[in-house]
Structure 1
Amino acid sequence: MSAALTAAPGAPGATDPAGPEVLHVESQVAQLRLEDPGRKGPEASEENVASSAQSRAVPADAGPSLTRSVPPLAQAALSVPASPPDYLQVHLQEPAGQEERQESVPSADPVFQVPISKAVQLTTNDAVKTTLLMELDISKTDFSYQPGDAFNIICPNSDSEVQSLLQRLQLTDKREHRVLLEIKADTKKRGVQNSSFFVFSVTNGFPST
């Protein structure tokens, strides 16, 4: 039987009278090999189309995201912590006068504006925190200092970010108002009962500074 399957039709020495039938069976076997065994008919075709569409919608190597969760997080029971109690009161005050507006950020110490003569990034771009080496030009500024003194650097926020925040808070028409943050008298939040530095006022040009 095996010799008949391997013999070519019309080859010398192929004298088996059942040769055509064997060749017919062989062609059927070859056709079955080209098909998916046990998965024939319209149902298999529809499932293949659905599987291909799903593979295009969600890549196989896609990681977890806000719309797709993967184990073990997808199988874990999650609980959202309760919001912390409010401990601050926010008051909007009328815009400051021209003289007071020039001092954009209140401070216990005098505020000086000096140029930055040099800035070098000391950390790599993938570092958790960026460390900069900065040199300030204080040659034209009259103030006393000693070696080892610290400088507090106040940086204004991006105007586009400030405008976006004001629009989200619906305070666009109160951009020049002063904001007074005051600790609630009956607060139960730890560590702020006797903290007076939370009481200060800032202009809306420096929110979240």
Structure 2
Amino acid sequence: MTPSATRMSRPGTRKSTAMVAAVLASVLTTAGCGSGGEQEAAGAPSASAATGTSPYPTPPDPREAAPRPAGSKGTPQGGVPQPEDIDQKRVDAVAQGTLRVMWTFDSNVDSGPHDAEIRAADASWLTKAYAARLRAYRPRSVPGAQWREWASHRAHTVVTLRKAEDAARPADTDTEAWRQWTVTATPSGRDGWEGEPSTVVTYVHLTRTAADETWRVADVTVQ
């Protein structure tokens, strides 16, 4: 996340988000069109059909990095949802709200795409452990030519979500669930400019302490 075009994993591999930042940021740290990336270019939106190839329920790889303070100077254009805006006992609602926050960023108020993850952490969409991991994550490179192009148009992303089914998804329990969503982020400038949309398939791991408690996102991975 970092929100923008993304690097897609081969089937059976996964990228952990401490890394939504590394993911969409992959395009923003390179010159050229919004379909580029550190590894592979973003593909077309994945079909909704069950694939059975997702990485559930492998735990995320640990990442060690120095703390990086958020650079956001305000609320993104159009705003972002807050946990209190939705029914937090509905797992789909929490997954969807979290993804919308993590992929909504605004070059007019953010210093880089990672700030969207910090917003999600600060708004309590995430478990404490996942929020701490994102706050500690330090992007390996600063936003580059693509982010500067967005900034020249004072662009923000418009996020669309599409739920997908996965044949390999474990059954929900009272305290654990996984969901698969296709996320498309389209940069839109305040001057009328529109950039190339980027799409990722995300796997969201959600947990709660008991059946009557609220859900929180424990991890997001991208394919």
Asked if these proteins are the same fold (TM beyond 0.5), I'd say: no
* Larger proportion of strand: 2
Higher relative contact order (CA 8 A, sep 6+): 2
Give TM-score, length-normalised by structure 2: 0.20
| CA radius of gyration, larger in | 1
* Larger proportion of helix: 1
Give TM-score, length-normalised by structure 1: 0.21
